[in-house]
Structure 1
Amino acid sequence: MKKPIVSVEWLHEHLDDSDLIILDASQQVNQAKVESQYQDIQIVGARYFDIKNEFSDTDSPLPNTLPTAEAFSKAARNLGINKDSKIVVYDSLGVYSSPRAWWLFKIMGHSNVWVLDGGLPEWVSQGYEVEKTQKHDYALGNFVSNFKPEMFKTKEQILENIATKDAVLIDARSQDRFLGETPEPREGLRSGHIPGSINIPYTRLLNDGKFLPKEELEKILPQDNKPLLFSCGSGVTACIDLIAYELIENKNPKAIYDGSWTEWGQIDSLPIE
């Protein structure tokens, strides 16, 4: 499976695979202010992937900051994840936070990871089995991170790229936020966008919580030979845009600007449009 997503039908057929681990990367609150109607249920056997706490650097002043490779390895092992685990990650909004979890595994060098297209809403709509949300203790896994720094960009690298234009920077926020027509949901942030960036709101790439077909994505996503950098509010929905490019089999190098607008928008010395 080269594609970064799997269908609920595929997952249902492979539930009994001995090396399969299902991760629930749902967030209780999100900046999109979207509420899930599936608050207290999970796919049977799912393990909770806590992006905000266990899988972020909680010492950082920024939200959802990439943890160290060592911290990620420890948290993954605590969930019983092994080096050879096949991982399917989902969230309760369809596709929202699960691509962030997918990217975290990718940047930590784990290739056998997929996003469940349509997430929990699609799983429930197909009548597949769910259970009450529950936590378990798991036998310690042997997961080891192999960090890939080329998949991660800092504000200094983004600033340099404004001058060099070596890479294309894509902003996954809504158009009104990109254009500075509406206040940022986080207090204290300037409005606008990073100079030279282009706006592809992540919502354009989805329909009813699932990714659009490849042919439709190709019409939306601009392509050239430059590397691709992705930004959003805090590094979560940028990963949706990145996966969309994977779905159209774009081979260009791809990286996430992890600080995203939460970082850029609060530093007055950084340029904005």
Structure 2
Amino acid sequence: MKNTIVSVKWLHKNLNNPDLVILDASQTKTINNTTSNFQGLQIKNARFFDLKNSFSRKDTELPNMLPNPQEFKEECHKLGINKSSKIVVYDNLGIYTSPRVWWLFKTMGHNNIAVLNGGLPAWHKEGFELEPFAKDTYNLGDFEATFHPELVKDIEAIKTNLKTKTAIVIDARSEGRFNGTAPDPRPDLKSGHIPNSINLPYSEVLENGKFKSEKKLTEIFKTLKLDNNPLIFTCGSGITACIIMLACELVSKNPKAVYDGSWTEWASAKDAPIHTKT
């Protein structure tokens, strides 16, 4: 499985592959209270990937932070994930949390993972089988985590980049939150952006719940004038940053990383400068 994204037709055709593991990364709702029409349903034999709890760091108040490799490995074992597993991940909004799971596995050294383009809505639209959500237990897997630190950046790296301007920081939040003209959904945070960062709302790379065509994505990233610069993707809490990172991965070979703490960490830090367009 060499593709970064796969179609629902591809997945349906490969359901009987013994190495295939389907992960359901659906959330009950988003930070903006977006909900799905497919609550309580899953693709047959999918395994629930609990992004908010099992696969986020537990020793921080920041949401969705990358767990350490040992914790990640142990949770993968519980889901029956093996070194040989071919993973397809989806969510119930089409494309929302699934790219975050793609990035997690890439960061932990497992490249045999793809996002289901269009997720559960696209699967249902094709008339493929759904079943009631079921949280099951599995035979322990033998997954091994090999951490790739180059794929993740912390707040100190972002502060350093303010001086060196080595990497281009791309922010996936809405234009209003980026410009400081709309409130942040987390009421204790200011809106605005990291100095010198550029804005690409994640909705811009999607169309009808799927990624836009490679041709359209190429045009989008071409207008940003990225050249060969390293790229750092950020958002509110590290979820939608992975959407635009994956979109960029489809059309660009630039080195890419995610600022894991994202705006929640940056806007909470006393010494982190905030720019607005007001």
With structure 1 as the length reference, what TM-score do the two structures score?
0.98
SS of 1:265's partner is helix
SS of 1:169's partner is strand
Q: Which residue of 2 aligns with 1:245?
A: 248
Of the candidates 221, 224, 228, which is equivalent to residue 227 of structure 2?
224
Equivalents in 1 of 2:101, 2:228: separation in Å? 27
1:51-108 per-position Cα deviation (integer Å, ceiling 9, x unaligned): 0000001221100010000000000010000001000000000000000011000000
Equivalents in 2 of 1:188, 1:32: separation in Å? 15
Mind listing any 5+ residue stretches in structure 2 that lack a counterpart?
A: none
Match runs of 1:159-198 below 5 Å: 159-198=159-198
Q: CA RMSD in A?
A: 0.8
SS of 1:36's partner is coil
Q: Which residue of 2 aligns with 1:59?
A: 59
Equivalents in 2 of 1:111, 1:173: separation in Å? 27
Post-superposition offset of 1:4: 1.0
Equivalents in 2 of 1:26, 1:74: separation in Å? 21
Equivalents in 1 of 2:43, 2:232: separation in Å? 33
SS of 1:160's partner is helix
Equivalent pair of 2:24/2:89 in contact (CA under 8 Å) = yes
Match runs of 1:4-23 below 5 Å: 4-23=4-23
What amino acid does structure 2 have at the position aligned with 1:54? S
Q: Which residue of 2 aligns with 1:111?
A: 111
Q: How many residues align?
A: 272
Q: Which residue of 2 aligns with 1:84?
A: 84
Post-superposition offset of 1:32: 2.9
Post-superposition offset of 1:220: 1.0
Of the candidates 267, 270, 275, which is equivalent to residue 268 of structure 1?
270
Q: Which residue of 1 aligns with 2:123?
A: 123
What amino acid does structure 2 have at the position aligned with 1:232? C
Paired-residue identity, %: 54
1:255 paired with 2:257, answer yes
1:177-219 per-position Cα deviation (integer Å, ceiling 9, x unaligned): 0001111101211110000000000000001110000110111
With structure 2 as the length reference, what TM-score do the two structures score?
0.96
Equivalents in 1 of 2:243, 2:137: separation in Å? 30
Runs of 4+ in structure 1 off by over 2 angstroms are none
Equivalent pair of 2:29/2:36 in contact (CA under 8 Å) = no
Equivalents in 1 of 2:210, 2:197: separation in Å? 25
Equivalents in 1 of 2:96, 2:33: separation in Å? 12
Mind listing any 5+ residue stretches in structure 1 that lack a counterpart?
A: none
What amino acid does structure 2 have at the position aligned with 1:81? I
What amino acid does structure 2 have at the position aligned with 1:29? K
What amino acid does structure 2 have at the position aligned with 1:130? L
Equivalents in 2 of 1:243, 1:89: separation in Å? 13
Equivalent pair of 2:8/2:123 in contact (CA under 8 Å) = yes
1:17-67 per-position Cα deviation (integer Å, ceiling 9, x unaligned): 000000000011211321100001000000000000000012211000100
Equivalent pair of 1:3/1:247 in contact (CA under 8 Å) = no
Equivalent pair of 2:19/2:85 in contact (CA under 8 Å) = yes
Q: Which residue of 2 aligns with 1:233?
A: 236
1:143 paired with 2:143, answer yes
> Comparing 227-236 with 52-61, which one deviates more in the overlay?
52-61
Post-superposition offset of 1:268: 2.7
